[in-house]
Amino acid sequence: MSVLFEFARTTASLLFRQAYTERPDMAKEVKEKPKRAKRLSLGVGGALVELPADERQGWANPLEFVLSCIGYAVGIGNVWRFPYLVYRNGGGAFLIPFVLMLLTMGLPIFFLELIVGQYVGLGPTEAYARMAPAFQGLGYCTIVVIALVTIYYMVIISWTLFYTFASFSSKLAWAYCDNEFNSPNCYSSLQDAECRAERPDLVYYNRSCMGIEAFCRSFGLASNLSDPTHCYKVGGNGPGIELRHLYNRTLSSEEFYNDYVLGIRDAKWEDWGGMRWELLGCISLAWLVCYLCLIKGIQSVGKVVYFTALFPYFVLIAFMIRGATLEGAVDGILWYISPRWSYLMDARVWADAASQVFYSLGIGCGSLVTLASYSSFSNNCHRDAVFVTLTNLLTSVFAGFVTFSVMGFLMNQMNLPIEEVVRSETGLAFIVYPEAVVQMPLSNLWAVLFFLMLFILGLGSQFAGVQAISCAIMDVRPDLRPHESRVILVVCALGWLLSLPMLCNGGIYLFTLMDWNTASWAVLLIGFAELVLPAWFYGCGRLLHNLAEMQMNFGPLLRAYWRLSWTLLAPATCLGVFIYQMYTYRTASFGDYKFPVWADVIGILIGLSTLAPMPIFFCYHLWRGPRDWSLLKPSSSWGPAKKASTPERSSSTASVDKQQHEGGVSNPAFLPDSQA
């Protein structure tokens, strides 16, 4: 009887599957109680196949993948870091090295990461280990980088959330000098305008309105009532001295950022002070929002990115329209698009362009490999790589127009040369923008929109980072995939816990140390390794053959471009910029505060920790053996996530997926060395 029962069950199962193959629409009519051990997946041709519960999920459609890449690559750095580098490196002339670095280094690495992730359908830790066992540590290097970046990047997001909440106050605190944390040297452009409106000879000094005569006398100078913007030497000899040059004037927005948001005051490395409880609440909320958006893994983030990737563009367009109508905006834009060609002779400009390419695209961090691993096997990742890179470039350029229109307005309002408007890249977002916003009509509305945009931009980049870490864990432990939400919860909780020291009064010093040494010089070597492994050891021939398997066939010109980029241009660029950065390396600092030597040592160790997995795993494989060239060749488990589409695809999906899950992937794409 048991034999007959088993035969009947098997026959019914086959008939059931065949019925769904012929009529896929019946899948919507029949509902079964989901089992914990199994799940159904719609295979090619409409066949429902039974997959293990720990099988990887995928994007619902290619658009979700593209938007996720845009949300990851287009972040806060496009809004503040790129305009700041343009500002520091010759205006429009900076676009030339930036575009060249993008084409010779950024796009090739970006495309390579998508290829590796999509082809093998795994995160960086497993993908690189299967491509060449000796390079197993490369995947872990990228995970260490993205883990460190995710921890301190969320601190920036907590600042944006802090400012968002502060923007709802009827009186924007950063616009005034009457707060308890303000110093006598605090300067408020709004309060200065109020003084002058009351009486033309009044100026704002020492947190009160003071007559120009008394002001100049306090510095041993004389005044001229017909010129209330200058003081003169006694006797009237010599040119007038501008008031802002007589004392170390500090903007109210700068004091708000340093002394209230960060709470630095007298904090040092030796004494970090207490916890900033407001920031603790903000970062807790930020991590909670991040977890809720990722609670169902790739399924939930695929829906969230429709908002997080697109909303910032609406805000940028609104700011562009508003900025273009401000007085002085044209001067700022003209400065932005006017190139200063002499800057191109400075090697630092080219190094800044290379670092911005890595920072902006997010390459060398493993997140792109992770995002691509959830794509369908035949997705056109070449088109996606070009589109996302181009979108990133155009967004940066457009954000530059927005930024410099606002800077032109601020230059006009404060009567300052544009060279003195910005002091640092973080200052652009948290000092210059807030200073400009308060002088606009409906200042609260623009402040909320701006900081909410920064929050969403930062959160979009965080999704890929958290996903990369959780994916690496589940690739090593596939049995945890049914508990993906718990894995993500643990990742978010640990990220929250490890970010707590950076919320103290002196936490900005640790933040600066990590930012200085994590995603800077070390990531260049990781990018170099990501190029050398596929292009030199695996072979461009194999790589292009794998692309053909994924239904991406290139003509002779494109094949030659990618070969040249992967084997020569991109590796040489990475190595050249790394050598230059080492030659000109200087230790971390924050403003005028120089870090102690032991802190600099910690910073260098943080950078080295991102590279440590590579030699560790290489030595491990040498010790474990075999000690031959097989360590630099694909392992037996290397192969496509799915076989190329064939008429028999629907009947073979389950067996292929099962082989992949068990580590014995069938590898029809593998070519012998003679054919590579």
User: What pLDDT does 563 receive?
Assistant: 92
The pLDDT value given to residue 55: 57
pLDDT reported for residue 632: 87
Q: How far apart are CA 388 and CA 73, in angstroms?
A: 8
Pairing, β 48-52 against β 38-42: antiparallel
Domain that holds residue 243: 186-247
Highest mean pLDDT among 101-110, 298-307, 514-523: 101-110
pLDDT of residue 229: 79
Query: Is residue 453 in some structural domain?
Result: yes
The answer on pLDDT for 409 being more than 80 is yes
* pLDDT given for residue 56 in this prediction: 62
**pLDDT tens figures, 83-133:** 888 888 878 889 999 999 999 899 999 999 999 999 998 889 999 999 999
The pTM of the full predicted model, rounded to 2 decimals, is: 0.81
With bands split at pLDDT 50, 70 and 90, how would you rate the model's confidence at 201? confident
Residue 328 Ramachandran class (φ > 0 left, ψ -120 to 50 alpha, else beta): left
- Give the tens place of pLDDT for each residue, 389-402: 999 999 999 988 98
Q: C-alpha angle with apex 445: 440 to 450, nearest 5 degrees?
A: 90
Distances (CA, A) of 580 to 82, 199, 298, 413, 481: 20, 56, 39, 40, 43
Judge contact between 27 and 20, C-beta under 8 A: yes
Q: Which residue has the higher pLDDT, 669 or 162?
A: 162
Q: CA dist 440 to 196, 410, 433, Å?
A: 19, 10, 11
**How would you label 372-403 residue by residue, b for 16+ Cβ within 10 Å and e otherwise?**
bbbbbbebbbbebbeebbebbbebbbbbbbbb
Question: Do residue 474 and residue 580 come from a single domain?
Answer: yes
Strands 241-242 and 250-251: unpaired
Q: Is 51 helix (H, G, I), strand (E, B) or coil?
A: strand
CB 513 within 8 A of CB 595: yes
**Rounded CA gap, 660 and 539, in Å?**
23
Please check the confidence at residue 161 and state whether its pLDDT lies above 90: yes
Closest CA to 589 of 479, 513, 538, 647: 513
Task: Tell me, rounded to whole angstroms, the distance of Cα 222 from its chain centroid.
Answer: 53
Same-domain check for residues 330 and 397: yes
Could you tell me which residue, 652 or 8, shows the higher pLDDT?
Answer: 8
pLDDT, mean over the chain: 81
Same-domain status, 104 and 201: no
Specify the DSSP element, H or E, that contains 41: strand 38-42
Of 127 and 58, more confident = 127
Based on the domain organization, do 143 and 198 belong to the same domain? no
Tens digit of each residue's pLDDT (9 = 90 or more) over 126-156: 999 999 999 999 999 999 999 999 999 999 9
**How would residue 673 be classed by pLDDT, with cut points 50, 70 and 90?**
very low
Q: Determine the number of helices (DSSP H) and then strands (DSSP E) in the chain.
A: 30, 11
* Cα–Cα distance for residue pair 648/43, rounded to 1 Å: 11
**Same domain for 326 and 205?**
no
329 and 216 within one domain: no
Do residues 140 and 278 share a domain? yes
Once rounded to an integer, what is the mean pLDDT over residues 420-448?
80
* Residue pair 334/324 in contact by the 8 Å Cβ criterion: no
- Given the DSSP bridges, would you call strands 186-187 and 250-251 parallel, antiparallel or unpaired? parallel
Strand 222-223 and strand 241-242: the pairing is: unpaired
CATH number at residue 136: 1.10.4160
Residue 256: name the closest of 153, 152, 151, 169 by CA. 169
Check whether 10 has a pLDDT greater than 90.
Answer: no
The count of domains in the chain is 2
pLDDT tens digit sequence for 262-281: 888 778 888 888 899 999 99
What was the pLDDT predicted at 528?
93
**Cα–Cα dist 347/149, whole Å:** 27
Q: Is the pLDDT of residue 246 over 60?
A: yes
Q: How far apart are CA 610 and CA 524, in angstroms?
A: 11
Band of pLDDT at residue 16, cut at 50, 70 and 90: very low
Which residues carry a binding-site annotation? 71, 73-74, 78, 360, 392, 457, 461
Domain assignment present for residue 161? The answer is: yes
Q: What is the mean pLDDT of residues 642-656?
A: 36
Using CA atoms, how far apart are residues 158 and 374, in angstroms rounded to an integer?
29
What percent of the chain stands above pLDDT 90? 29
If we measure between CA atoms, which residue out of 277, 171, 213 comes closest to residue 507? 277
DSSP-derived secondary structure letter, 271: B
Which residue in 194, 76, 86, 184 sits closest to 438, CA to CA? Answer: 194
- Is residue 16 domain-resident? no
Label residue 237 by pLDDT band (50, 70, 90).
Answer: low
Is residue 233 domain-shared with residue 312, that is, in the same domain?
no
> Does 618 score more than 80 pLDDT?
yes
Do 114 and 190 lie in one domain? The reply is no
Q: 153 and 215: one domain?
A: no
| Entry field: residues in the chain | 676
On the CB side of 363, how many CA atoms lie within 13 Å of its CA? 32
Are residue 243 and residue 307 in the same domain, yes or no? no
Could you tell me if 162 and 240 lie in one domain? Answer: no
pLDDT for residue 445 is more than 70: yes
Of 327-331, 577-581, 641-645, 656-660, the least confident: 656-660
**Within-domain flag for 33:** no
Least confident of 337-341, 646-650, 656-660: 646-650
Mean pLDDT on 623-632: 84
**Which residues contact residue 199 at a Cβ distance below 8 angstroms, ignoring those fewer than 6 apart?**
209, 211
What pLDDT, on a 0 to 100 scale, did the predictor assign at position 250?
Answer: 80
- Distance between CA atoms of 441 and 444, rounded to whole angstroms? 9
Cβ neighbours of residue 346 under 8 Å, at least 6 residues apart? 89
In angstroms, the CA 125 to CA 117 distance is 10
pLDDT of amino acid 642:
59
In a domain, 349, yes or no: yes
Query: Residue 438: phi, psi to the nearest 5?
Result: -65, -15
Whether 177 is in a domain gets the answer no
In the annotated binding site for Na(+), the residues are: 71, 73-74, 78, 360, 392, 457, 461
What's the rounded Cα separation, in Å, for the pair 529 and 611?
11
Mean pLDDT of the 516-539 span: 88
Q: Is 14 inside a domain boundary?
A: no
Report yes or no on 65 lying in a domain: no
